[in-house]
Amino acid sequence: MMAAALRVAETPERPKSLTEPRWVRWSLTAVALVFLMVFLLVPLAVVFSEALSKGWRVYLASITEPEALSAIRLTLLTAAISVPLNLIFGLAAAWSITKFQFPGKNILITLIDLPFAVSPVISGLIFVLLFGARGWFGPWLDAHDIHILFAVPGIVLATIFVTFPFVARELIPVMQSTGTDQEEAALVLGAGGWQMFFRVTLPSVKWGLLYGVILCNARAMGEFGAVSVVSGHIRGLTNTMPLHVEILYNEYNFTAAFAVASLLAFLALVTLAAKAYVEHRFHEH
Amino acid sequence: MGFTVFYLSLVVLIPLSTLFLKTATLNWHSFVQEVTSPRVVASYRLTFGASLIGALINGFFGLIVAWVLVRYKFPGHRLLDAMVDLPFALPTAVAGIALTAVYAGNGWIGRYLEPHGIKVAYTPLGVLVALTFIGLPFVVRTLQPVIAEMDPDVEEAAASLGADRWQTFWRVILPSLGPAWLTGFALAFARALGEYGSVIFISGNMPMRTEITALLIVTKLEQYDYAGATAIATVMLLASFAILFLINVLQSRTQKGRI
């Protein structure tokens, strides 16, 4: 990294009067590198180093024990339900916001962003107030033997809530910039509503859509605060991967905690790579 | 359209409104007593204070990082650019245990700080480190496009009128970055206020000292004190809505300014 800093290339496209002296460029680059290293690379490296500190055998055992596997399964299940639902909603919301005119449009956009402004803990709390034993629907649910809180449905609901805005907010600007000309052309040429949607609208927004889904999925699999409030931490039943990490860590089982965490860190790296790839493709178009 | 509003109401609006309805059932006197008790006030001080300082740190270093990433090309520059989003992609619980491991007394960085009397993990300083980490991308990501789109003519004009680089930076470049910087700063601040997962591991969670407000809400819930949790949550929610509102005003101003 320091070698990279020392080889800061000349910036040929900018004349001397429009860039900083070389020593300023070097020191600014060095400051940026050190800051990012201390805050990003070191914590990331620590996860993998701690996970492997007792060797591969312990690592593999930690991520294949039954409770870890059930946490992995629940995390995948939660993402498999919440991501498609928010994908469909995101498409519908972006579609109605960008292709039609109606009063209250800006309010709708603000409301879609709302879950981003709510603390994860509060996102969990509202579902406790709704479905908890002393919540609004609690007594009724109890009477009918339906379990939402401290069970899988609660985890899915809280995850849907916190990942709600991702797809819609990525799609809205993309759909805005493509306009309605192509769709009108398709309709004039005799395409039906669905045909137009699948042949014209969807292909034109596919990169924006993919981008939103990648971010939505990362959050769905990694959500901690909201899920922690509604899950009840029942091992092997309502533990998602992040919650399993917490339990192992609090039991001073650090190697196992970091082993499961390393899977989530790997997921984060895949997310970043996929994101960079989509951004790259998006700029080409 | 109908589906959009229906799903939005079902998933977001109805659940969120229960919070305010629940608050409305509390009596005013006990509400005030709840949200102004010494332990709660101490948690506000820590949460707001550390969030503010964290956002300021990100404001300073974020400006440098954004500038370096846009203006200077060096090997690994692309990789670093992609890494900036790590705090968004890394689950907060993982970030929490990783930062704790790094800054604990025997950690990679902690072991060099401890001999100098600087304790990070399990102190308010640890809370600050976690909140700085999760707010890191905001200032960088809001500044990058603005720096990239900056018209070179303006800098050229300043240079040809005899300004040196330093004057150009202070008088021309910095003011034009102002609104975007402020937006990034406010976003980082708002995110830090509600943060839970990355903080609770490194903070040690000592009441009155290193206990953040989000944790206090969870603690009250675990004791089945729904009323107390709801009251504190309402205060936090109103604070983040106020910030969100300011951000929206800022953004609509900037957009008008650009046209």
Q: Which pLDDT score, from 0 to 100, does residue B96 have?
A: 94
Q: Which pLDDT score, from 0 to 100, does residue A256 have?
A: 92
Cβ-Cβ pairs closer than 8 A, A with B, add up to 261
Q: Which pLDDT score, from 0 to 100, does residue A11 have?
A: 45
Average confidence (pLDDT) over B58-71: 93
| Interchain proximity A32–B65, CB inside 8 Å | yes
Q: Which pLDDT score, from 0 to 100, does residue A285 have?
A: 64
- From the CA of A180, how many Å to the nearest CA of chain B? 17
Please report the ipTM that was assigned to this predicted complex: 0.88
- From the CA of A188, how many Å to the nearest CA of chain B? 23
Beta-carbon contacts of A246 under 8 Å, excluding residues fewer than 6 positions away, are A224, A228, A257, B93
Look at B46 and A139; give whichever has higher pLDDT. Answer: B46
Which residues of B are less than 8 Å from A271 in CB distance?
Answer: 89
Q: Which pLDDT score, from 0 to 100, does residue A92 have?
A: 87
Confidence of residue B254 (pLDDT cuts 50, 70, 90): low
Q: What is the mean pLDDT of chain A?
A: 84
Q: CA of A115: which chain B residue's CA is closest?
A: B12
Of B18, B195, B215, the CB nearest to A129: B18
B190-236: pLDDT as tens digits: 999 999 999 999 988 888 888 999 999 999 888 888 888 999 999 99
Q: Which pLDDT score, from 0 to 100, does residue A193 have?
A: 74
Asked if B178 and B258 count as a contact pair (C-beta separation under 8 A), the reply is no
Q: Which pLDDT score, from 0 to 100, does residue A198 have?
A: 79
Q: Which pLDDT score, from 0 to 100, does residue A129 have?
A: 87
Q: Which pLDDT score, from 0 to 100, does residue A9 have?
A: 41
A226-238: pLDDT as tens digits: 999 898 777 777 8
Asked if A260 and A241 count as a contact pair (C-beta separation under 8 A), the reply is yes
Q: Per-residue pLDDT for A252 more than 60?
A: yes
B72-119: pLDDT as tens digits: 888 888 888 989 999 999 999 999 999 999 998 888 898 888 888 888
Average confidence (pLDDT) over A146-167: 88
Most confident of A84-98, B4-18, B147-161: A84-98
Q: CA of B129: which chain A residue's CA is closest?
A: A39
Q: Which pLDDT score, from 0 to 100, does residue B55 have?
A: 96
| Interchain proximity A272–B83, CB inside 8 Å | yes
B160-181: pLDDT as tens digits: 787 778 888 888 888 888 888 9
A1-49: pLDDT as tens digits: 333 433 444 444 566 667 777 888 888 999 999 999 999 999 999 999 9
A254 three-class SS: helix
* Cα(A201)–Cα(A205) distance, integer angstroms: 7
Nearest 5 degrees, angle CA B106-CA B112-CA B116? 115
Mutant choice from B12, B65, B128 vs A, greatest count of A C-beta within 10 A: B12
